[in-house]
Structure 1
């Protein structure tokens, strides 16, 4: 099968591409700069890359460039997302750029005729169980939840808010497109992934590992992201990178599937995370404190929708946290 993966040099995309190549698929991967060996080189060195991988130049801010990569493919994984706004372009912010690129990619999928499914890598930052009036949280985090965009949150900054806006609005627009007559026979799937941890060949895997393990480091910005996730989702949804990639491939291999799916295995507070490390690695010294108020929130996560389709997660919360610890230890302490 020929598949397209956008944002190919990123943490999730490069891991997904590796699994797809090992399964024997032909992969069209997009990168912003074909000459950047620090990023494109990661993909070129993957198993079976010399025969089954084709790289294309494409940028979210130049959405017409994705057509060449999508042409001839049966499945499109739209993983790319703008983390920072590129000023001096036709777009007023990263949300507008993300939405326009997603719509353009979806239209290419329909117009080119070979694509039967578009799978978007969404995020649980778009899935807040916060009540619409901002007075607190609902009882469950599940696919019915959408993040309200008109409230300020603790530990926020302009970068975090822009990312939440971008992921939320883009996912809504793609699901809306999937339900429209314009989509034809194209199936649209969105996978709202929790905080992704686990080591891969990609150096950016360290970023999510640091966030997960941040209470035991001096990384204050990473700790702010962890606390910010708690303020959006009530607690922190966690998922392993291997499960994320396998979930994408699972959605690719189904005879028919569409709609929104939560992709996470554990729902932990910063207190839960700290308690795990204190229990299993008592030699560690906690440097940034958890929040007892969050630990007392009575919110449950319901991620059964994907499981009911037949998907099996391999990593539970303890395994994810232990992997984060060993990844951080190998990178920074050994």
Structure 2
């Protein structure tokens, strides 16, 4: 799909160093040609939807079966030294469990990356779920699918993938969360940055200050060399990117 890949082909050095392959997550062997000869494989693709008519077929099966198909292709290629796998919620949790089982049984060196809500500047012309959440807040929506935000910048996620591959001692699971805060705090930062915006301070009819949240340790990720971009900077860069790409006009 040229519309979905144009931003990749427009990157500096793409003509010399970027090669795109056609593949199908649910088709075993589909990734063989793309992975052959590679020393590192980053598996980041998985469907994300909150409105799937059939979650099992549309989200869970592609995540689990797709991950196993990628790992099977990796196991066939002796050049592959390490696989970096990213995590989301249920579908990716099931995929991760299956991936660890496969990796142990087949001797695949694998590291998993576990980001929170990924925000920050984006390259593609379309909106991801996480960026759309911020867009809706800026537009003054009275409700949000999230009452608590465990946030990380996309640039930190990208760096973590590279460091997890290049650092010989990297192993196991890495959680990536810069801040874990209630929606009211996110709205407060946005209001500070853009005081003229008509921001809401409620999540539906629920007082979001009374909802529980969970902290995430940065220690292991910082041991990998990650210096997290502050939440305020990530939010500002997200909004400015939305303005640059004309999703926001103010």
Question: Shorter-normalised TM-score: what interval?
Answer: 0.7 to 0.9
Q: Distance in 2 between matches of 1:194 and 1:64?
A: 31
| 1:64-104 deviation digits (Å, cap 9, x = unpaired) | 211110111000000111236798xxx84531232122112
Unaligned runs of 5+ in 1: 1-35, 127-164
Change (3 A) 1:40 1:322: closer
Cα distance in 2 for residues equivalent to 1:264 and 1:118: 21
C-alpha root-mean-square deviation of aligned residues, in Å?
2.5
Counterpart in the other structure of 2:239: 325
SS in 1 for 2:20: strand
Q: Deviations over 1:223-248 (max 9, x none)?
A: 533x2xx4xxxx21111111111111
Q: Cα distance, 1:296 vs. partner?
A: 5.9
Whole-Å Cα distance in 2 between the matches of residues 65 and 215 of structure 1?
A: 39
Tell me if the contact between 2:184 and 2:201 (Cα under 8 Å) persists in the aligned partners. Answer: no
Structure 1 counterpart of 2:95: 170
Q: Deviation of residue 293 (structure 1)?
A: 4.2
Distance 1:205 1:248, change over 3 A: farther
Which stretch shows the higher mean deviation, 65-74 or 256-265? Answer: 256-265
Q: How does the TM-score come out when normalised to structure 1?
A: 0.66
Report the alpha carbon displacement of residue 281 of structure 1 after superposing the two structures with TM: 2.4
The structural deviation recorded for 1:282 is 1.9
Q: Residue 279 of structure 1: SS of its match in structure 2?
A: helix
What corresponds to 1:111 in structure 2?
A: 76
Does the residue aligned with 2:86 lie in a helix, a strand or coil?
A: strand
Q: What corresponds to 1:209 in structure 2? A: 131
TM-score for both structures, normalised by structure 2: 0.86
After superposition, where does 1:106-255 map in structure 2 within 5 Å? 106-123=71-88, 126=89, 165-178=90-103, 180=104, 182-184=105-107, 186-205=108-127, 207-217=129-139, 223-225=143-145, 227=146, 230=147, 235-255=148-168
Q: Distance in 2 between matches of 1:86 and 1:109?
A: 32
Q: Do the aligned partners of 2:82 and 2:109 also contact (CA within 8 Å) in 1?
A: yes
- 1:108-158, CA deviations, whole angstroms, 9 ceiling, x for partnerless residues? 2122111111111212xx3xxxxxxxxxxxxxxxxxxxxxxxxxxxxxxxx
Corresponding pairs, count = 243
Distance 1:207 1:83, change over 3 A: closer
Q: Return the offset for 1:328.
A: 3.3
Q: Give deviations 1:303-322, integer Å, cap 9, x for gaps.
A: 22111233222x11111122
Query: Mean Cα displacement is larger for which, 91-100 or 239-248?
Result: 91-100
Q: For residues 168 and 222 of structure 2, what CA distance do their matches in structure 1 show?
A: 16
CA distance in 2, matches of 1:199, 1:38: 19
Structure 2, gaps ≥5 residues long: none
